Structure 1
Amino acid sequence: MIDDVITALKNASGPWGKNVYRGQPPNFTILPVVGVYMLNESDFVAGDGKGMQAFKGFVNIDIWTKDRIEDIKTSVRAAMYGLSGYVRQNAFRELVEDNGLKHLQFEFEIILGGFK
């Protein structure tokens, strides 16, 4: 599930380009930079007995930037709602770090399905 989110963000036309990482980004020299985290393990929620299964999880997306906040918010939402499945944004926070970077936090609930 987290790989689907990372791929969607890397393929999006977001201002972060390919600077998308599982977990904490290794550095903050090229901005914006994105870290993607699972807030819980994916839970099995449905199956049809023929190999089709659906999993539910909560994903946190952290983005550090200096500018283009509205572009970033729009690009993240477009990438996430473009996933095939159920996606709902639960939270958004905008923080300012001690070093002056803007820290954007998104939380999404996702239900994705596929063949086992």
Structure 2
Amino acid sequence: MTMPLGQTVSVEIGHKFQDLGLTVGADAQIALEESAASDAGAGGADQPIAGYEVVNVFAEYKPRKMENLTVRAEINNLFDETYAARGTYGQEFAVVVPLYEPGRSVKLMATLNF
């Protein structure tokens, strides 16, 4: 038995404001609906796997006077999409409840290199 991953598209974009020490960016993962059922004799897959779109954004700041400091803010799953990542086993079976990924999450990090 295998996990039917189907077709996925990933897009990333970023821009660095050199004078400000600021980098902003985003990425998106788009998984298209997978409707090809696997062989019924290999486990009886009986339902399509829904598609999803997930968008993440970030901003990262490195002050000029403290080049060893980085402050980063991220918002993952910006639109609070309910989805199970394509690599999650069992989504093609009606009797299996998939393990969903976390909803929108916000992360603030500070890193000091020395």
Tell me the TM-score normalized by structure 2. Answer: 0.34
Give the structure with the higher percent strand.
1
Higher RCO by CA contacts (8 Å cutoff, separation 6 or greater): 1
> Going by fraction, where is helix more abundant, 1 or 2?
1
Scaled by the length of structure 1, the TM-score of the pair is 0.34
